[in-house]
Amino acid sequence: MLKPSLAMLTLLGLACAGAATAPPGMAASPRSEVDARLTLPAPTTSHHYIANVGSATRAVKRIGFTVIDTGSSREEIRALPKGTQALVWLGEECPSHIDPAFRRQVHRLAKSPRVFGYYLSDEPNDVACPDGPTALATRARYIRRQSHHAQQSFIVLSGGYHRYRPQVTGVSMTGIDPYPCSTAHPTCAFGKIKEKVSAARRAGIPRDEIVPVYEAFGQENTASHYYNQPTADQMRTMLEKWAALVPHPPMDYAYGWGHQDSANPTLRDSQPLKDLFGTYFAG
């Protein structure tokens, strides 16, 4: 009997290794899919929020989003898929003091287990809204009292961290939105995440009240293209950076699902990003 050559032994060994990793009748998983699962961090919260959902509530639920952007309609909130909650948009660009309309809206929803909380302001202008922080405090205090601390109050900041710190505003969650991927940084300036989180914490925003805001959109299809929609690999890096800096947030936030004048494409347009978030949320 002829002895097999070294080359033949090598080929046989590779074949056996391949057979061991793929059961009969089942193709081996592509290496990229396996690597994606191995390199993702563990999810840091079970509350995953997405904005601008519209009628696509079941589509985002299938991905794993559990907190969904809604208005204050009780019918809209009741229609959410089982296992999801509403983050009710009561937002103002320049926060104003509590008024009767706000009281009525929160009073109607304060005992609903389907309401996770209220989105009160998105990037309030630090200069144009001098009374914004104290105005927010009146709204956040009313939410706490009416819901007996069961529901959250939420704002997103891109600056003005000291003026809008929770000690002044009373809000329970503060989103920080460093968007690292842009035409100025085609490979993404991931260091911006640490810079903004560090600035927020120095200004008095506690780490366990910070909500990571993930850049899931781009402006490639808009009139003014600056932000780039991240690739799946870039999003994976974004998730890793956030998980290291804010390991136990009350919620995370993917912006966003539906198209806007300032956001197109969005998450709904990217199957790789949808797959990545689905894998991440599933743990």
User: For residue 121, what are the β-bridge partners?
Assistant: 155
Domain membership of residue 22 (yes or no) is no
Domain membership of residue 146 (yes or no) is yes
Six-digit token string for 99? 């008024």
Could you give the residue ranges of the DSSP H alpha helices within 223-270? Answer: 232-245
φ/ψ of residue 160, rounded to 5: 65, 30
Cβ-proximal residues to 170 (8 Å cutoff; 6+ apart), any chain:
136, 137, 140, 141, 144, 153
- Reference 142, options 122, 160, 120; nearest CA is 120
Domain membership of residue 156 (yes or no) is yes
Domain that holds residue 164: 42-282
User: For residue 87, what are the β-bridge partners?
Assistant: 69, 117
- Reference 87, options 107, 109, 59; nearest CA is 109
Could you list the mean pLDDT of each consecutive 10-residue stretch along the chain, which spans 283 residues? 36 37 37 52 93 98 98 97 98 96 98 98 90 97 98 96 97 98 98 98 98 98 97 97 97 98 98 98 94
User: How far is the C-alpha of 11 from the C-alpha of 18, rounded, in Å?
Assistant: 11
CATH number at residue 134: 3.20.20.80
- Say how many domains are in the chain: 1
Measured CA distances, 267 to 64, 181, 258, 263 (Å): 13, 14, 8, 10
Domain membership of residue 144 (yes or no) is yes
Predicted pLDDT at 14: 36
User: How far is the C-alpha of 190 from the C-alpha of 187, rounded, in Å?
Assistant: 9
Domain membership of residue 7 (yes or no) is no
Domain membership of residue 33 (yes or no) is no
Predicted pLDDT at 9: 35
Domain membership of residue 17 (yes or no) is no
Predicted pLDDT at 25: 38
Predicted pLDDT at 44: 86
Domain membership of residue 15 (yes or no) is no
